[in-house]
Structure 1
Amino acid sequence: MIHLPDRTVLRLSGEDARSWFANLVTCDIVHLEPGHGRWGALLTPQGKILFDFLVTEGEDGLYLDTDATLAADFAKRLNFYRLRAKVKVEDLSQAWHVEAALPPATIVPEGALAFPDPRHAELGLRLLVPGPARADDAGIASYHRRRLELGIPEGGKDFRFGEAFPHEVLMDMLAGVDFKKGCFVGQEVVSRMQHRGTARTRIVPVTGSAALPPPGAEIRIGDRPAGTLGSSAGRQGLALLRLDRVEEGLAAGESLTAEGIALAVDKPSWWAGTAATHKATA
């Protein structure tokens, strides 16, 4: 079990909770079943991600695994939308914690809500666990290495909340948006990007010729800005890139770099896109 100290738990309960939440967020909530999860987000009306989360069903409501630093703001925003709906929004930060169990681990603590990580099978189980977490954070580096290798972005690490669209952080590819579910906040913008294919900026895995710079470092193709670096572990990381600009530059023989370090860009095997297949050379 790997404790994820930067994640925490919210609970939505009440007779209207499921239908009310379904009308706000990007993922399918109506057909969510116990033992399963969804990745989703609450957007601005302009279609940008305010909060993202993993959600599963418990006996007494919906349980959300979300960014710990934004949990109070998330709960406040949900209460803003509650109006007269019969819904209770609770911040369980002091009573629950979040863990991950990478394959092949299958042990589930007593009382925990466990479900396969909906973003990728190789991320194993996600566990929402009642009670205090262990004092140590052993294994968290292994979890993030696996996430980076798979090319799975996380909010606050690989993109800034309030600035990124779902397509840019691969929610369209990782089932974070259900385009058949009906209305949700920001739907018109997201649907337009889907149907017009206008998402030019994407998060992709990158490998450096040396250890990568800190998150936020500017990435350039030749002498032009091309994006920013996200989280990394050694030479492996994720980057938010303007793919059309990168592809044109690489085809012209320009180098992709971050603070002088040459980058290679590879799409994950699961990625449905066809851009960013080239590699930069030193």
Structure 2
Amino acid sequence: MLTIATSPVLYPLSDRAVLSLTGDDRTKYLQGQVTCDVAALEAGDACPGGHCDSKGKLWAPFWLANLGERLLLVYNRSLLERQLPELKKFAVFSRVEVEDASDRWQVFGLAGEGLSHWLNNHVGDGNLWQGGIVIPVAAEHALLLLPLDAELPELPRGDEQEWLGLMIQAGLPDMSAEHQGEYIPQMLNLQALGGISFNKGCYMGQETVARAKYRGANKKAMFVLGGKASGKIEVNQDLELQLGDNWRRAGTVLSHWQRGEDCLLTAVLNKDLEADAVLRLKDQPDSRLHLQPLPYDLVD
């Protein structure tokens, strides 16, 4: 299956969008739009979060970084077309500029044994570096955002698909445009990752997100599945759960990694799923998928 490299590797990422917020009201404005506590971030800090519609359904899960005079959001590029206009909708009433800055930033994954030691030696105190930022996302895993003219680290280059697999193993959500408007943030485990603040005040979709926590309204979560599949896996493919001799629809593929027949994927499934559950891809009847342990506790 997939294993982390024995030393740090740099993974160029082509599928990430970078949004930039500047202006005096950037923090106040974003605070009223997203699930995480933007005001709590100092320069060099970062956290996961989500941007929802008024009904609490996700436009985009993201990583947010504070560069001091600028806030950056990093997420799946396919979400940009629908999400960006929604984030900009009320910006006209504030001193903030919200723009797609993807063509001005390079996005990389960093992963491998000894990464924290490498970062201590090369980046030093804090996460700001060469006009960009290092965003820790899991143990020995990080995102690296650098301006186009920055000097790249002298590290071996890795494959983008491998990085996606490492993110799946770490239980980190990635969502494509096919799933926009389907899931509330808790269904992608954002609360377990520190991506939802329940005491910061109002934001878009906040009522639904709070109800899911305090009234137990959410019955789904994101799970990692691993196994075998001989055919190509696609986002939004139907998954089926084995019930005796029968199979019942259980969800769809959220993100995936595949090498030969070995595969890892994420899917939003019922939270009461048995640990020994067997699933398959509907259009690949011979495929078999099993739940993998999440590296964190699922909390409400």
Moved more, 167-176 or 209-218: 209-218
> In structure 2, which of residues 119, 133, 138 is the aligned counterpart of residue 113 of structure 1?
133
Asked if 1:232 is matched to 2:232, the reply is no
Contact 1:101 1:126 in 2 (8 A): yes
> In structure 2, which of residues 204, 211, 217 is the aligned counterpart of residue 185 of structure 1?
204
Higher relative CO (Cα under 8 Å, sequence separation at least 6) belongs to: 2
CA distance in 2, matches of 1:235, 1:171: 23
TM-score when normalising by structure 1? 0.83
Contact 1:95 1:132 in 2 (8 A): no
CA distance in 2, matches of 1:23, 1:217: 34
Task: Render the CA deviation track for 1:35-86: whole Å, top value 9, x for unaligned.
Answer: 2201111101111001222111123221221332333543322221113211
Contact 2:44 2:68 in 1 (8 A): no
| Structure 1 pair 62–248 and aligned structure 2 pair: CA distance change class (3 A) | closer
Per-residue deviation, 1:197: 2.0
| Structure 1 pair 115–235 and aligned structure 2 pair: CA distance change class (3 A) | closer
Higher strand proportion, which one? 2
> In structure 1, which of residues 220, 235, 246 is the aligned counterpart of residue 240 of structure 2?
220
Asked if 1:195 is matched to 2:214, the reply is yes
- Match of 2:184, as an amino acid? F
Contact 2:16 2:77 in 1 (8 A): yes
Q: Which residue of 1 aligns with 2:195?
A: 176
TM-score when normalising by structure 2? 0.78
Asked if 1:270 is matched to 2:288, the reply is no
Q: Which residue of 2 aligns with 1:15?
A: 24
Asked if 1:86 is matched to 2:95, the reply is yes
Q: Which residue of 1 aligns with 2:162?
A: 142
Q: Which runs of at least 4 in structure 1 moved beyond 3 Å after TM superposition?
A: 69-75, 209-213, 246-250
> In structure 2, which of residues 260, 271, 280 is the aligned counterpart of residue 257 of structure 1?
280
Contact 2:47 2:65 in 1 (8 A): yes
Q: Which residue of 2 aligns with 1:161?
A: 180
Which residues of structure 1 form unaligned runs of 5+?
275-282
- Aligned length, in residue pairs: 264
Which residues of structure 2 form unaligned runs of 5+?
1-9, 124-128
Task: Render the CA deviation track for 1:12-50: whole Å, top value 9, x for unaligned.
Answer: 111111111101110010010122201111101111001
Partner secondary structure for residue 247 of structure 1: coil
CA RMSD of the aligned region, Å?
2.7
Q: Which residue of 2 aligns with 1:243?
A: 271
